[in-house]
Amino acid sequence: MTHKGFYRLQLLDNDSTRKKIPLPIMSSVKEILTCKPLAATFWLAVPAGGARPAPPVGPALGQYRLNLMAFCKDFNARTQKFKPDTPMAVTITASKDNTFEFIV
C-alpha cells in the first residue's frame, strides 16, 4: 500500500534517467484509527511483587487518574517470579482516556 505523493528517486543504470519508486506507509489505517492520545510516559522503580497504592506508585498514577489497584495487581502478578523486593524499572504509558500500559 502506498500513499500518493511520497516517492524516492532512484537512478537507473549509469544514465541520468530517474524512476519514481513509491514508499510504503509505515502504519496501517487500522493502527492509526485505533491510536489513543497519550497523556504521559514515565518510569518508576517498584519492588518486585511489592506494588501498593502508596508512594511512589499512588501519586505517580493518581495524577493521571489511572486505576491504582489494577496496576498493583497486574504488576505483582508479572513480577512474582523474581526475588521479592528486587527493584524493577517500570515504564508506564498513560492515555488520556485513563487507560495505561506498562513494560517491566
Residue 45 and residue 85 in one domain:
yes
CA 37 – CA 97 distance, rounded (Å): 8
From residue 62, alpha-carbon distances to 4, 23, 58, 76, 85 in Å are: 44, 43, 6, 18, 23
**What does the pLDDT read at residue 37?**
80
Q: Give residue 10's pLDDT band: very low, low, confident or very high (50, 70, 90).
A: very low
Give CA 4 to chain center in angstroms. 29
pTM above 0.75, yes or no: no
Q: What is the pLDDT of residues 69-103, one digit of tens each?
A: 999 999 999 999 999 989 999 999 888 888 898 99
Q: What is the pLDDT of residues 32-65, one digit of tens each?
A: 566 678 888 899 999 999 999 998 899 999 999 9
Residue 15 and residue 55 in one domain:
no
Residue 22 and residue 53 in one domain:
no
Residue 68 and residue 19 in one domain:
no
Domain count, the chain: 2
Residue 55 and residue 78 in one domain:
yes
